[in-house]
Chain A
Amino acid sequence: MIVEFGHYALVLAFALSLVQSVVPLWGALAGDDRLMAVAPPVSVMTFVMVLLSFAVLTNAYLSADFSVLNVLENSHSAKPLLYKFTGVWGNHEGSMLLWVLILVFFGALVGFFGGNLPKDLRAATLSVQGWISTGFILFLLATSNPFARVVNPPLEGADLNPILQDIGLAIHPPLLYVGYVGFSITFSFAVAALILGRTDAAWARWVRPWTLLAWCFLTLGIAMGSYWAYYELGWGGWWFWDPVENASLMPWLAGTALLHSAIVMERREALKIWTVLLAIFTFSLSLLGTFLVRSGVLTSVHAFATDPARGVFILVLLCIFIGGSLALYAWRAPALKQGGLFAPISREGALVLNNLFLTSACAAVFVGTLYPLLLDAVTGEKISVGAPFFNLTFGPLMVPLLIAVPFGPVLSWKRGDLLAASQRLYAAFGLALLLTLFTFWLWGMDKVLAPLGVGLAVWVMAGAVAEILTRVKIVEIGPRRAFARLVGLPGSAWGTTLAHFGIGVTVLGVVTASAFQEERIETMRPGDVVELSGYQLTFDGAAPRRGPNFNEEVGHFTVRQGGAIVTRLDPSKRIYTARQMPTTEAAIYTTGFSQLYLSLGESRGDGAVDVRVYFKPLITLIWIGCVIMALGGGISIADRRLRVGAPKPSRKRPAGAPAAAE
């Protein structure tokens, strides 16, 4: 009965979304306040209804109600409680429900906090948001009902895929979805602006914080997914250029571009039309990602969705939203007013360059991801596009961008002086050069690219630090007064510094972990010792162990450095009983920013086992850098200047003067 109640709540949410799609927009176009006022309460109620149905599905999982098909197929009574909970979105139907929940949550946020927006803009935005939720709730109800019942329920469920029985499932999909779906708000704002035919100041101010919010979560989501794959898959890879990963990377690249073009729009009123287009692209890429993952188009045998009805449904939604918004753009964008002028060498110019490289990189990933599908469909030829291709095409586009990163914030708006700007970066350049030479000296000439990569990473990091230090004039006024100024800098300045520093940190991790990794692959008997990067690993033997819903063979290792015991590592190989599916659980020892990574291979009889040991120097910097980037984004959102409705700074000039850009 409760389950049917959840299903019914979803139907109600669909009906409410329909109302939200039509009534407020009608009001906005007809200038009717009463019709526009419908939007906020309806958007909040839609959220409440979807939340209710999500709670019902969660309840079905927690109580192991195997009369629900979705629970039966993805849960097991012996599964630990955490995984019963996270299992709610560890499957197609549940994860789509989570997607919709986050979508309507964002709608409700605009409804709730949008009181200081122009009425018609808020109404139109919520209507566009309503179109998206209508489409996806209908998708759930029509093709992916999570509440379908089974007539004669068996006593035990099929269990969740063992790979997903990990804390990663609790964190990764929600973060990623908040990122994906968060871009729907900027999309709705952009489409609303096109419908209303104007992009006013309120519009420009709203776009950046929402983009930042979505971008922060997407950054964290991708990083979390990468780390999860790293420790779960057992060979220590952290990025595979898998189409599904690319599906999350593309909105990230477009979203990063959007973030930067929104700055230009907010400060200088320029690039408005491009920002609108980018907002449409970013969410379209999120939708494309959803399509790629949910439709099963990537492979014939895909883990999640194999039902073609779903693929076709999402494809139709995709065509309606992307095609519709681009057509609207083509029709209405020329009506939007263009903003300020700027010289090629200027802050704006640098941000345009950023957009150029990010969108080109995004295009390269886009074509690389979809080309094999297209070629197969058109000519029947099968080709593979994998990591070596992307490294070759994506890398060269990133290098000039990274070289340019430190220049952006030191150039002045409108018309910059490259020479004067470079003077602020001398120290950063010197440091980068020094570390490049140091790496050459340390590793010799056989790895030419790696020291250059290290230099590039240091350049980006030091450039970010140099920018903020010269901004407070540390050389001129001395460290003590400069420190006071640093504290007083606006959040957006710190945000830029941290985000740029973070990208440098990530690049450093990528370069060192790829170029200087050490590896041993050995068959070890109890008592055998393997030596790697100054560590001695002794195999003490293996023993079986029983888990709640799996059996495992655990290998015991002692790690010594110069005779002293550093740590013990217990990697294992598991067999999950319900699905009889094996997994490898790697053991990781973190030392500084580096990691010792140990995983078990095949058992060879008489106690011998294949062992793979890696030393991955500075690898954790890859993810730490992402966290720093997201932190920068968070600080930038918290900047009170960016909050709509926050009181204007008192440093306003007398009446009659144009409002300051800041």
Chain B
Amino acid sequence: MIRSLLTSLFLCFCLLAGPAQAVAPDEILDDPVLETRARNLSAELRCMVCQNQSIDDSDAPLARDLRILVRERLLAGDSDAQVIDYLVSRYGEFVLLKPRFAWHTLALWAAGPVALVAGLFAIGLAMRKRRARAGQPADGPEAQLSEEEERRLQALLDGKD
């Protein structure tokens, strides 16, 4: 965390003259609906001179320029998708904090779900294997009380849970 403070602030402050607050009052649009859309879009766009900060959070002048640009496009009647497309065409995909789903980001998007499915599969396989192995002897563990069952039995006899 301290390094994230450091990195973001170093980059945003050291390179640039004075601190400008993220989203200044003079940037805010009069139309609350447009302004809400602008804020939501800003949260998904990266301040490119900062480390991992959205333009909505960033104090850097570049972020301010981008915030104003986003609002100009919205005022000009662009849809959210058009604003995003416009920024990507100008600054590349680097500007998106949520990468687009495409071939080169497939592994990125799939990582979590694939890990989940693979894990489920592995667990199922392991349990089947164990069950098959344990099922062979006639008086396998299933036939008798386990330690745990005996313990619970003893505990019940003792009158405790």
Contact = CB atoms under 8 A, between A and B. Distances in A.
Chain B associates with chain A: yes
Given A601-B20, A651-B158, A384 B3 contact: no
B160 to A, nearest CB: 9
B4 A240 contact: yes
B154 A383 contact: no
B151 A661 contact: yes
A338 B54 CA distance: 49
A126 interface: no
A610 interface: yes
Nearest to B22: A235
A371 interface: yes
Contacts of A248: 1
Contacts of B24: 521, 601-602, 610
Interface string A221-250: 010011011001111010011111100100
Q: Which range contains the number of A residues in contact with the other chain?
A: 35 or more
B119 A229 contact: no
Interface in B54-84: 54, 57
Contacts of A357: 116
A268 B98 contact: no
A563 B26 CA distance: 29
A303 B7 contact: yes
Contacts of A522: 25
Interface stretch (A24-32, A34-42, A99-107, A167-175): A167-175
29 contacts: A163-B2, A164-B6, A226-B1, A228-B1, A240-B53, A240-B57, A242-B4, A298-B7, A298-B51, A299-B51, A302-B7, A340-B146, A357-B116, A371-B108, A383-B99, A383-B105, A385-B98, A386-B46, A386-B52, A386-B97, A388-B43, A388-B44, A389-B108, A521-B23, A584-B19, A601-B24, A610-B21, A658-B147, A660-B151
Nearest to B20: A602
A660 B9 CA distance: 56
A389 B98 contact: yes
Among A168, A375, A386, the most chain B Cβ lie within 10 Å of the Cβ of A386
B112 interface: yes
Interface residues of B, number: 68
A385 B39 CA distance: 19
Contact of B9 (A163, A168, A363, A662): A163
Interface string B94-113: 11111100001101110111
B141 interface: yes
Contacts of A389: 97-99, 108
Contact of B1 (A225, A267, A396, A610): A225
B34 interface: no
Given A298-B51, A361-B112, A661 B148 contact: yes
A173 B3 CA distance: 10
A392 interface: yes
A172 B119 contact: no
A360 B10 contact: no
Contact of B146 (A360, A384, A397, A414): A414
Given A163-B5, A164-B2, A356-B123, 4 more contacts: A301-B11, A341-B134, A383-B105, A393-B112
Contacts of A412: 152
A367 B4 contact: no
Interface in B14-40: 14, 18-26, 28
A375 B151 contact: no
A590 to B, nearest CB: 21
B1 A172 contact: yes
A394 interface: yes
A388 B21 contact: no
Contacts of A169: 2
